[in-house]
Chains A and B, each alone.
Chain A
């Protein structure tokens, strides 16, 4: 699979992907690649452009500028595409009076997928007992499972899921995590969007973070975590003296323009040390950047609607 990577096999590739809806810029010059063999989390606050990007990937919406290719070509240029790409965009977008089996049947027929696959995917998601029931009364979790079954129908190498965890019970969430990882372990490309960092932290190996339609981060999850390690922010009028003292205790000190970034000792020890030497502290703040914090840090200013006013950033884009 690696040798094919350059030709775009099993890969999703966005190049300067841009989508405007009237004056609204939904996706703004996104460039990234989604690689096979791992779960890639597609993260961003609500309204960041995740769903739009996924619609563009599937050729449902046409980009205003730029392009996105799947397996090296535009999605809509593929014939019987469910053999290559499976997607779950909206689990509720089904006809309620249709039976679950029939929903999978028309999908299979439209792409010449054998009927035996319907039973296989139903079993895989645990819906075989209610396959002959109408979808309408299904719970959201059951509809999510049906949507996942539909995505898997063609046994595709590339899978896209838009907010698949929504509506699942805790048991279902654990199931889906394991499931995505096993799909990726089989060498598939698994692209999962979410607005929940905590969820992605447990599922994804790689993260693509967007806000306001723009790329904020594209890195392995370990990298993002390393970026946000634990440190203490210290401000003092005698920062040079304090730096010397802290260095003696074995702490690492990095001087920034107005403050010190201290790692290796906790805030309490720094306070005690400063007091013992009569050094005044103007600020002493422990910084613990979890993945969640890293996410907030990354997406700060990229949230569409803060409580209160719209961001001026959005108006500036017009």
Chain B
């Protein structure tokens, strides 16, 4: 390959044309934003993510408030009103994760990846642009729905004088943590979509990693069960948006680092594979 390109100047004809200067990443990010907003599945997935986070969170709070007077004192004491209002996340992570998968895998499913890579042969730049654009959208939607779910849930619980508020820094961290976790699962989906290139396989892997691995790890004998499971994305995510410390789980800071490590591993693999494989 080195011998094949004796003309070393990489872009000899591009210098004169002003329209072809400027940041490649910025141009590709704008294009990826157009792609993302111009298909219906994006809007559906985002609407479902918000709907599930807020809707289910509110439902859990309503159910708890309705049953509250008949609950035994122990159950009344152990309830964490913040986590209760954020319970919808257990399902909405799937919706946003699927959208993340589709951002990559739908290009392979339709074959459009070839048009994309013919337009942007710089494959890692493409991966980065997709991650930035989707990550930004996911972040806005995740934070928005986490705070909305918290607000709606606390409003419901307030009727029983159970609600908590964002003035508590631990609560604030938990709600931010919920939004962060949701965003990270979405991006993890994107990385898996890039690695596996098949929608079904990537979704199955995401579900296994985020939802099922924790259950499997619990089948290990103690203390391995807790030692292993606390490092899994689903359990680390729970630590990120819990208010009460749980000795079996990581601290929120450690949980964030673990989640970011998962993400880094995913994108490192994706970056290696996307550059190496035939499209």
Contacts and interface: CB of A to CB of B under 8 A. Distances in A.
Contacts of B279: 55, 60-61
A74 interface: yes
A81 interface: yes
Interface of A: 7, 15, 55, 58-62, 67, 69, 71-85, 87, 89-90, 92-99, 102-103, 105-107, 109-114, 150
Interface residues of B, number: 39
A298 B243 CA distance: 76
Nearest to A96: B110
B14 interface: yes
Contacts of B244: none
Contact of A113 (B7, B19, B38, B121): B19
A29 to B, nearest CB: 15
Contacts of A74: 1, 4-5
Contacts of B111: 90, 92-93
Interface stretch (B20-28, B87-95, B137-145, B245-253): B20-28
Contact of A73 (B5, B27, B112, B122): B5
A209 to B, nearest CB: 24
Interface of B: 1, 4-5, 7, 10-11, 13-14, 17, 19-20, 22, 24, 27-28, 30-32, 34-35, 38-41, 106, 110-112, 114-122, 278-279
6 contacts: A74-B4, A76-B122, A79-B11, A102-B35, A106-B35, A114-B19
B118 A87 contact: yes
A60 B114 contact: yes
A113 B30 CA distance: 12
Given A107-B119, A110-B116, 12 more contacts: A72-B7, A73-B7, A79-B10, A79-B11, A79-B20, A79-B122, A81-B121, A94-B115, A102-B34, A106-B34, A110-B30, A112-B27
B119 A95 contact: no
B106 A69 contact: no
Contacts of A15: 4
Contact of B110 (A83, A89, A93): A93
Contacts of A80: 14, 20, 24, 27
